[in-house]
Structure 1
Amino acid sequence: MTRSPAAARSTSVYGWYVVFVCTAAYVLSFVDRQILSLLIGPIKADLGISDTAFALLHGFAFSLFYATLGIPVAGLSDRTSRPGVISAGIAVWSLATAACGLAASFAGLFAARIMVGAGEAALSPASYALINDLFPRERLGRAIGVYSLGSFFGAGLAFLAGGAVIAAVSGHGGLAIGPLHLRVWQACFILVGLPGMALAALVALTVRDPHRRTGEPVPGLGAVLTFLMRLRAIFGPHIFGYVMSGWALFATLAWAPAVLTRGYGFGTADAGFWLGLNAIFAGGGGAYASGWLLDRLARAGRADTTFLVGIVGGLGSAVSAILLALASRPVAGVLAMACLQFFSSFPITPSSALTQMVAPRTMRARISALLICGTGLIGAGLGTLLVGLLNDHLFTAPGGVVFSLAMIAGLGGAISAAILAAGCRPMRAWALAAGR
């Protein structure tokens, strides 16, 4: 039965509203996740930690539960209310971010960062599955591309607002709340964490779960793994290729402030301003461009679009990393970072789109969570940590972080492109057999 034009328009308007709300949540998640990188200087000074320890806070502590809880939480998304899962996740990570501001030791901050990751694990698997149910295949790439923009608007807002908050609070020597006197970095965590509770309420009250059939059978995790093994020629390169792309993306987001402050002499507030613009316009532009390219190639009849777009991002990241290593002036460094953020953002949209196109509805959230698990542990966790280790043991000069980041981002991009290339032919063969 064909829907009336009015019903189709109503669904389209509501679909874009859901995309907007999920994107707002994604923005907030990256603000709460990314604010730590701008505070590297005062946190290291107050807690007396090394670059390697900072990398553990930024990458491993966050990724530990973000990755491992993603799969069981995604199982809830496949079985229960996805808006409910999203709302609960927002509340958890918002309170945990505020708790970072109350930490007085490395261990306390590490524990709070673990809970930030635990809350954020709920967001993307449920959001991707929710968005997929509201858009046809030919418009899905753009919808997911818009959602993907949230990560870069969030990172940009973290840098811009974080820089402004640091400047404002520093002028008063910190922030007093009753008997508590908070340091600058502690105040930043509290100020960016608590507003998330309002968004959690908005999701719970206004977003409904579409196309959910009562009693629809949901396969167990064993069936999901069997499905992945049956299509391992596609999902193997897909998962491992996009996991490696995380070296470029997440290492750049984590270490970009240190690159500008230690490598090129920027102040913290100035670094936040330029990195905020880079994240929004270069990173966000790359995420949207990849969604546009994904749809354009799909309309042209290419079945391997999700691999091709990722290959472009990987090769572009590798070239941008070389440009960063060669940049000797501040302006050149900012431009090289912009190029790196543009291309390292390309994989976000196609990495999630393939799962939504190929997998059964009741498996999508958990397959997305498996990819997020690998990306969190290997892409974000290991990639960020490797930069810290290189800073402490190889490129030990203050400006050495430039070369550490260039090495890890470049390697990640090149390896990602090579692995993704192996999936193009199997994807075309699958599409031909499936009549797509």
Structure 2
Amino acid sequence: MADTADESRGAAIWAWYGLGVLLMTTLFAFVVRQMLSLVAPALQTSLGFTDLQLGMLQGLGMAVFASVASYPMGWLADRYGRRLILALGVACWSLATGLFAFQQSFGGLFAATIGIAIGEAGLAPIVFALIPDLFSERQRNSANFIFYGGSLLGAGLGMALGGAMLQGLAEAHHAFPSWLAGFDPWQLAMLAIAVPGPLFFLLVLTMPLTKSGGGAVRTAAVDEHAPRDFLPYARANRATLLCVFGSIFAMAVAMNSGMMWFPLALPRAFGIDPTTVGVGLGTAITVATLIGVVMAPALLKLRGRGDALEPVRAARIFVALTPLPAALLPLTTSPFQAYCIAAFQGALGVAASSLMPGVLQSLAPPALRSRVLALLGIVNALALAASPLAIGAISGLIAGPRGMLLAITIVSLPSLIASAVLIGLAPKPYAATLRAIRPHYSEETP
């Protein structure tokens, strides 16, 4: 009995350590991603890029290639080991980030961005497939909330630190030695965030694994009735997948609209220094994350039902409220008001989005978990592609300094309404999917 208890405690310690490594690695990826947005004004100033070209870098470069690589990365992770594939992904995006700093042409920057996208493509399917293997179902929601909240908190902190780094490099540029003076501050910032890559590569590669967490999906504990082939499963549950992933896509389009373009939209609208936007927006994101990741478990606890449908029902409450702050953005008269709107909308979006990993883990049969979760990366990547391109194209048609703020609203508001409609329709088909893949599941149809 004592030996069993010791083994259980040891497994729990290694599981939380593994989650810590996954969280730190994801934070590193978010910092890289946020810096690509923060250097956009500098790229436009020093290289003369248009809004559409910036949209192509942040949209096509990051999103399309991440989308293409996501499913193969999930398949490789299941087949050859999630730890190995994730470590190789870290190496890929770190090297590409360093190479980004040495490019002076649109083609070179686009190619480096593709390398970052391919390296980061495996994060979602690998991490979210690992969490159910590392943790029991009782602990899984807690691990999901901690990971999701921590990664988004890191995104906000990364935005703030990135803005401070760019500002500091710009102010101290005259004091650099001659061999660094030829680099622009944006180049030095990209080099700086590439430096920790080897450390994270080693952390992931040497991460201790539980007996079930390292490679192929467990099969011994899988219900014999659970589907094992992806296409028949997808056809049988297409209504569920359409509602859930459609809502995630529409929400991601709206959230990316603000995240990607605020660093350019606010200086234009209010005449502020672009280097200060990172600190203000990063603070707003941090506040939104802290509030959002608390609201989601608080609502679940308040409702107290504890069945597998509760995350979907809770998500539709949060998503239904997100169009309200989006509609107020064109009425802002100061950067502070814009940051407040970003924080309000972000908190609702974070609360809804933090519930989605648990929703997807429940609807995915264990034998198909990495492939189903790979769809999350694909959907988010497609949203990342659509949002910058749409806003870049629309803002060019609207004259005046507030044109980009209006373009953000034009894209994000309909997207949030569509997200609310789709997640509102999700509970009924979702319950049917649970009954199909879990023969012992019983829930009254909503």
Q: Look up the equivalent residue of 1:338 and give its one-letter code.
A: A
SS at match of 2:351: coil
Amino acid at match of 2:404: V
Determine whether 1:382 maps to 2:383: no
Q: 1:312 to 1:98 in 2, by over 3 A?
A: farther
2:417 aligns with: 414
Contact 1:91 1:200 in 2 (8 A): yes
1:350 and 1:106 mapped to 2: Cα distance?
38
- What's the CA shift for 1:130? 1.0
CA contact (8 A) 2:217 2:366 kept: no
1:427 Cα deviation from its structure 2 partner? 2.0
Partner of 1:116: 116
The answer to whether the aligner puts 1:107 opposite 2:103 as a matched pair is no
In the superposition, relative to structure 1, how do residues 98 and 294 fare at CA in structure 2: closer, same or farther (>3 Å)?
Answer: farther
Q: Unaligned 5+ residue runs, structure 1? A: none
Deviations 1:105-156 (A, max 9, x none): 1111111011101000111211111111122223322211221124423322
Distance verdict in 2 for CA 1:179–1:427, change over 3 Å: closer
Q: Which residue of structure 1 aligns with residue 280 of structure 2?
A: 274
Deviation larger for 3-12 or 48-57:
3-12
Q: Which residue of 2 aligns with 1:20?
A: 20
Q: TM-score, normalised by structure 2?
A: 0.89
Counterparts in 2 of 1:141 and 1:407: CA distance versus 1, 3 Å: farther
Question: What is the Cα deviation at residue 180 of structure 1?
Answer: 7.5
Q: Which residue of 1 aligns with 2:444?
A: none
Mapped to 2, the partners of 1:80 and 1:194 lie a distance apart of 27
Aligned AA for 2:76?
A: L
1:69 aligns to 2:69 (yes or no): yes
**Does residue 1:237 correspond to 2:240, yes or no?**
no
Matches within 5 A, 1:340-359: 340-359=345-364
1:160 aligns with 2:165: no
Is 1:29–1:120's contact at 8 Å kept on the other side of the alignment? yes
Q: CA deviation at 1:248?
A: 1.6
CA contact (8 A) 1:18 1:131 kept: no
Superposition pairs for residues 330-345 of structure 1, below 5 Å? 330-345=335-350
Give, as a single letter, the amino acid of the residue that structure 2 aligns with 1:343: L
Specify the alignment match of 2:126 in structure 1.
126
Whole-Å Cα distance in 2 between the matches of residues 214 and 261 of structure 1? 49
Aligned residue identity for 2:278: G
- Cα distance between partner residues in 1 of 2:92 and 2:77: 16
Q: How many residues align?
A: 432
Residues 1:381 and 1:291: Cα distance change in structure 2 (over 3 Å): farther
Could you report, residue by residue, the CA deviation over 1:371-430 in whole angstroms, capped at 9, with x for unpaired residues? Answer: 3212211x111022211111111x332222222112222221110110111111122344
Q: Note if 1:317 corresponds to 2:322.
A: yes
Distance 1:205 1:127, change over 3 A: same
Structure 2 Cα separation of the partners of residues 30 and 136 of structure 1: 27
Moved more, 323-332 or 406-415: 323-332
- Root mean square deviation of aligned Cα: 2.7
| Equivalent position of 2:94 in the other structure | 94
* Structure 1 residues 362 and 430: alpha-carbon distance in aligned structure 2, compared to 1, 3 A threshold: closer
- Matches for 1:301-312 after TM superposition, within 5 Å: 301-312=306-317
Asked if structure 1 preserves the Cα contact closer than 8 Å seen for 2:362 and 2:434, the reply is no
Matched-pair contact (CA < 8 Å) for 1:252–1:341: no
Per-residue CA deviations over 1:144-198 (Å, capped at 9, x if unaligned) read 1221124423322332222222222212437668478211111111111221220
Q: Is residue 251 of structure 2 the alignment partner of residue 250 of structure 1?
A: no
TM-score, normalised with respect to structure 1: 0.91
2:190 pairs with 1:189: yes
Distance 1:286 1:50, change over 3 A: same
C-alpha change, 1:149 and 1:215, in structure 2 (3 Å) is closer
> Displacement, 1:24?
0.9
Greater shift, 421-430 or 112-121, is seen at 421-430
The Cα shift of 1:308 comes to: 2.5
Corresponding residue for residue 206 of structure 1: 207
Q: Could you list the per-position Cα deviations for residues 211-256 of structure 1 after superposition, in whole angstroms to 9, with x for gaps in the alignment?
A: 16889679xx992121121122222211112111111222221112
The corresponding residue for 2:375 is 370
1:335 deviates by: 0.7
Instruction: State the 1:366 CA deviation.
Output: 1.3
- Distance in 2 of aligned mates of 1:431 and 1:214: 23
Task: State the alpha-carbon separation in 1 of the partners of residues 357 and 125 from structure 2.
Answer: 9
1:25-74, CA deviations, whole angstroms, 9 ceiling, x for partnerless residues? 11111110111211221110112111121111112210122111110110
Summarize the Cα distance change of 1:126–1:266 in structure 2 as closer, same or farther, 3 Å threshold. Answer: same
Shift of 1:23: 1.0
> CA–CA distance in 2 between the matches of 1:293 and 1:84?
37
| Deviation digits for residues 278-330 of structure 1 (CA, Å, limit 9, x no counterpart) | 12221343245335545665x51443234223323422321110122222233
Moved more, 170-179 or 379-388: 170-179
The range that moved more, 424-433 or 287-296, is 287-296
Distance (whole Å) between structure 2 residues aligned to residue 80 and residue 293 of structure 1: 39
Q: Taking every aligned residue pair, what percent have the same amino acid on both sides?
A: 25
Look up the equivalent residue of 1:203 and give its one-letter code: V
Query: Does the 8 Å contact 2:133/2:212 carry over to 1?
Result: yes
Distance in 2, matches of 1:416 and 1:215, equals 31
Distance 1:47 1:287, change over 3 A: farther
Aligned-partner Cα distance in 1 for 2:146–2:369? 19
- Tell me the distance in 2 between the aligned counterparts of 1:400 and 1:138: 48
Bigger mean CA deviation after superposition, 243-252 or 112-121? 243-252
> Where does residue 53 of structure 1 map in the other structure?
53
Q: Distance in 1 between matches of 2:190 and 2:99?
A: 8
